[in-house]
Amino acid sequence: MTPAPDAEAAVQSEYDGATRKGTREAYERFIRRHPDHPLAQKAREVLAAGTLK
């Protein structure tokens, strides 16, 4: 039997994808999908910096 995937690793992977893409839309999508996750706060900080494409 295959072990269940690590939920935290999956969220981290999604955040890493948003970081690689580097667009406002990618970070906004991450926040919508995981609004209460600590990485959502990091994503909000990136958006607030106003340096995205």
Per-residue pLDDT, 37: 96
Spatial separation of the C-alpha atoms in residues 11 and 17, rounded to whole Å: 10
Alpha helices, DSSP H, located in the chain: 7-21, 24-33, 38-49
The pTM (predicted TM-score) of the whole model is 0.85
Position of tokens 């269940």? 4
Domain boundaries along the sequence of the chain: 22-53
Is the distance from CB of 22 to CB of 52 less than 8 angstroms?
yes
Which residues lie below 8 Å from residue 31, measured CB to CB, with a gap of 6+?
40, 43, 44, 47
Chain segment 6-46, per-residue pLDDT in tens: 989 999 999 999 999 999 999 999 999 999 999 999 999 99
Spatial separation of the C-alpha atoms in residues 18 and 11, rounded to whole Å: 11
Per-residue pLDDT, 52: 81
